[in-house]
Amino acid sequence: MNKIYIVDAVNLLFRAYYAISPMTNLKGESTHALYGFIRSLYKLIKDFSPEYVICVFDGPDNKKSRTKIYSEYKSHRTSMPLDLVEQLQRSLYFCEIAGIPFLSIEGIEADDTMGSIAKWAEKEGSEVFICSSDKDLCQLISDKIHIIHLHKDNLLIDEQKVKDQYGVEPSKIVDFLAITGDSSDNIPGLEGFGPKTASLLLNQYGSLEGILANVSKIKGKKGEILLKQEEIALMSKQLARIDIHIETPTQPSFFQLKNPDTAKIKQFFQEMDFLSLLKELPLNTEASQENYSLVNDVESLEQLLKKLERETKICIDTEATHLHPMLAQLVGIGFAVQAGHAWYVPLNGFLSKEVVIKKIKPLLEKKEIGFIGHNIKYDLHVLKNETISLQSIHFDTILASYLLHPNTQRHSLDELSLKRLGREKISIESLIGKGKKQTSMLDVSLDLIKDYCCEDVDCTLQLKEQLEPKLQEQGLFTLFTEVEIPLIFVLAEMERNGIYINVNTLEKTSLALSSKILHLEQQIYELSGQKFNVNSPKQLSSVLFEKLQIKPPKKTTTGYSTSIDVLDTLKKEYPIVKKIIEYRTLEKLRSTYADSLPLQVNPVTKRVHCTFNQSTAATGRLSCQNPNLQNIPVRTEEGKKIRQAFEPQELDYSFLSADYSQIELRILAHLSEDPALIRAFNNQEDIHSYTASLVFGVPLLEVTPTMRYQAKAVNFGILYGKQAFSLSQDLNISYKEAEIFIVTYFQRYQKVKDFIEFCEETARKTGKVVTITGRQRPIAEIHNKNPSIRAFAKRLAINTPLQGSAADLIKIAMIRVDNYLKQSSKKAKMLLQVHDELLFEAPDQDILLLGKEVKQIMESVMSLKVPLVVDIAIGKNWSEC
């Protein structure tokens, strides 16, 4: 063996557990430490191509040899987190299937096993590299033995580095630890002896024993401590010394890296939901070339169309010039009706674009054919840009995957093909590149684009065959076919409608915001006593926590955090923090909306066309992007000014807003069947005043604004599973007051308490929660061994049936309102959906009747135990609504 790499497995697992944000697989099991461990091993293999490697784990009952010496050895350590124990077990299995040798010797700590292997290998003439960040292992370093910090870009620790860092050579590290102690292992060391004193004495007297032999020369308190604590120091040295005489395998073949079992690794990565690792496995990337056909002449196109016209379901995929659907020009279209067979029809080939469109248009507009696609709303737009109106959608694989697995946002065709079909598709980057060097699909050769598009449409069809029966098995098919699929057409229409923005209004708002931001910047400089980049987290952290000596509540791996949750805890005590929050809020409004929205105006329509996503939020809510118009503040003065810029394009038109009133609380009343809540809504009471009246025990007329505010915080806090601590923070009251408030609330609304307990119990028993319409959200994390992940799962179990039902309610309302608008002769358009609000644009002469009709439709979407109430508002801009 020329070289051997010894991996401190538990060190890697612990580091990953605390360094990586919690990750879970679809079963709700923690996976982040395991993921980090595997990444580290792959990095080692990639960077060093080792022939000999060993992963070393602690053996069972491994502390007994040292607890015989000192009963308090490692006694202060809490037990390994239960979810980390699970990941450690899986890491052993991974080593097995990956062909990576590993050792776990009963009764032996990993350090001793590693030390024994390292010294044996050194004697055999091997160069040894120990992969760990544990300083105890520095005592093993020699000419032949080194330490590598994999997480620090393979930083090599040799004899000189040890001396630079600790002031002593590796052979004296045991003595160094005996003197300074080691808090991580509960090795006591000598009281008051720090690293500088330890290194000074060791360099003068050679060893701990040498120091003790010359104790008479060491004057003052240090000499007294050495006399008193001689036994403790010698015991500490015993504890710190790595035992290099453990019996370990001595056959080089044992340490040899074996061939991995790729099939088992693939299955393991799928179970753990490690898609990025799955992508790196050697998978079949070749398309079935012989079954993918380029249709590039009249005869072939007519033959294809004749075949397709006999089908009732056809899978399609469009290739276009732009990611934004409203700006995309059709380059070609793929068709498939059978797995493994597909056709690509280019619009930039032998046939002219006009000829191809004329011939394919009748097929694509047939109502009798149900079309299948992946994110088919995009294809619908691209075809509409070429005057082709798709009439019937049968299936969308992105929505099917989303309904089955709403907790993940990984529903791209590439990821689904990899995970479900075991197939790594041709990447778009391989065709058009990326970044500044990115070209257009128009520049890609027909053969390459043919293979790419045909593979897309083939994979989509195969995924449909897998996903459709799963939707039926899980009772989601009705929701899919009656809500999600019809909504595609509604959202596409809204996206094409867009919304007009008065650019002049935004420019004025931008100037006003810039002036306020500049003023706040000067105030921040005055309070800090220096100029710095307020937008730089690093510089801000330095000013707040170093120069101004504010006690930092949270530290990250890169320094002290300046995130909004950290700043919120400091704003009451420190005026500069309040100013920084104000600065950030205004800066975000200016950069995200005032300055950016004018750049997103479509040059043809003069309107902004955002995209609504159905497959993002786990609760079923729609999200909005490019631009996101759902997050413009409603209540702040600056937010209102941004909204003023949104107005009808025609002078004799107005906006109409239809907003569900307190919808989640009404759904809570319906699902919990709480008599007090139901009575309040049926009597059309102000629910927050009503709650305040019950909780504070005063008549409704005596409820003060403060009481109402506190009751409102509890009403909505309950929806999100808030406990006393969070409520006390929100209301600036004591923990005890918040606790009493919640107890009293549940005494008045007993059935709400029962409903919350029912949601938690349902999640525990079934691993999921369900909305009124049957939408499901897996809550597998409710069984996670990590208490914080489990607590988060409980909050989801309470909130999802309420928020998910509200999301379904407005989706159904949108479908019904859209049907009404299509049947009506009026020129009204639905423009936006923002949570529980719909925004319309209509001629002034029709606006009142539109409001009446929309209100009636929206209030009759579902029959609940309490009335649905929709508030209608009309205005000449969005702010007025």
**pLDDT at residue 290 in the model:** 59
Mean pLDDT of 17-24: 90
Out of 188-202, 417-431, 703-717, least confident range: 188-202
pLDDT of residue 166 exceeding 80, the answer is yes
- In the chain, where does the domain assigned CATH 3.40.50.1010 lie? 1-157+247-277
Distance, CA of 735 to chain centre: 31
Query: Which CATH fold would you assign to the domain 289-432+439-474?
Result: Nucleotidyltransferase; domain 5 (3.30.420)
Give the H/E segment covering residue 362.
Answer: helix 353-364
Q: 């012989």: which residue's tokens?
A: 290
Q: Kindly indicate the confidence band of residue 446, based on its pLDDT and cuts at 50, 70 and 90.
A: very high
Structural tokens at position 877 = 């801009």
Distance, CA of 740 to chain centre: 35
Q: Kindly indicate the confidence band of residue 224, based on its pLDDT and cuts at 50, 70 and 90.
A: confident
Q: What is the mean pLDDT of the chain?
A: 91
- In the chain, where does the domain assigned CATH 1.20.1060.10 lie? 502-600
Q: Kindly indicate the confidence band of residue 362, based on its pLDDT and cuts at 50, 70 and 90.
A: very high
- In angstroms, the CA 16 to CA 22 distance is 10
What region, left, alpha or beta, does residue 467 occupy, with left being phi > 0 and alpha being psi -120 to 50 degrees? Answer: alpha
Residue among 224, 274, 198 at smallest CA distance from 32: 274
pLDDT of residue 39 exceeding 60, the answer is yes
- Which residues, in sequence order, are bridge partners of residue 146? 129
**pLDDT at residue 72 in the model:** 61
Q: Kindly indicate the confidence band of residue 626, based on its pLDDT and cuts at 50, 70 and 90.
A: very high
Mean pLDDT of 842-847: 96
Higher pLDDT, 115 or 107: 115
First CA to last CA across the chain, in angstroms?
77
Distance, CA of 606 to chain centre: 34
Q: Kindly indicate the confidence band of residue 69, based on its pLDDT and cuts at 50, 70 and 90.
A: low
Tell me the pLDDT tens digit for each residue of 796-842: 999 999 999 999 999 999 999 999 999 988 899 999 999 999 999 99
Q: Please name the amino acid found at residue 274.
A: F
pLDDT of residue 510 exceeding 80, the answer is yes
* HSE-up (13 A, CA, CB side) for residue 819: 9
- In the chain, where does the domain assigned CATH 1.10.150.20 lie? 168-242
pLDDT of residue 74 exceeding 70, the answer is no
**pLDDT at residue 399 in the model:** 98
Q: Kindly indicate the confidence band of residue 234, based on its pLDDT and cuts at 50, 70 and 90.
A: confident
Homologous superfamily, domain 1-157+247-277: 5'-nuclease (3.40.50.1010)
Higher pLDDT, 310 or 721: 310
- In angstroms, the CA 755 to CA 778 distance is 18
**pLDDT at residue 832 in the model:** 97
**pLDDT at residue 390 in the model:** 96
pLDDT of residue 288 exceeding 60, the answer is no
Mean pLDDT of 301-310: 96
- In angstroms, the CA 749 to CA 695 distance is 10
Which CATH class, in words, describes the domain spanning 168-242? mainly alpha
Q: Kindly indicate the confidence band of residue 287, based on its pLDDT and cuts at 50, 70 and 90.
A: very low
Looking at domain 617-632+641-664+754-881, its CATH architecture is 2-Layer Sandwich (3.30)
Q: Kindly indicate the confidence band of residue 664, based on its pLDDT and cuts at 50, 70 and 90.
A: very high
- In the chain, where does the domain assigned CATH 3.30.420.10 lie? 289-432+439-474
Q: Kindly indicate the confidence band of residue 554, based on its pLDDT and cuts at 50, 70 and 90.
A: low
Query: Is the peptide bond between 60 and the residue preceding it cis, with omega within 30 degrees of 0?
Result: no
Mean pLDDT of 319-334: 94
Mean pLDDT of 378-403: 97
pLDDT of residue 285 exceeding 50, the answer is no
Q: What is the pTM of this model?
A: 0.83
Mean pLDDT of 651-678: 96
Structural tokens at position 140 = 């093993």
Q: What is the CATH number assigned to the segment(s) 502-600?
A: 1.20.1060.10
Do residues 149 and 139 make contact, with C-beta atoms less than 8 angstroms apart?
A: no
Q: Please name the amino acid found at residue 300.
A: S
The percentage of residues in the chain with a pLDDT greater than 90, rounded to a whole number, is 70
- In the chain, where does the domain assigned CATH 3.30.70.370 lie? 617-632+641-664+754-881
pLDDT of residue 65 exceeding 70, the answer is no
- In angstroms, the CA 795 to CA 726 distance is 13
**DSSP state, residue 182:** B
Helix 705-719 vs helix 663-672: crossing angle, to nearest 10 = 60
**DSSP state, residue 551:** P
Q: 């068709």: which residue's tokens?
A: 335
**pLDDT at residue 181 in the model:** 79
Strand ranges (E), 424-503: 499-500
Structural tokens at position 217 = 């020369």
3-state secondary structure 382-443: HHHHCCCCCCCEEEEHHHHHHHHCCCCCCCCHHHHHHHHHCECCCCCHHHHCCHHHCCCHHH
Do residues 140 and 170 make contact, with C-beta atoms less than 8 angstroms apart?
A: yes
CA angle (764 as vertex; 762, 765 as ends), nearest 5: 65
Residue among 242, 216, 244 at smallest CA distance from 230: 216
**pLDDT at residue 71 in the model:** 64
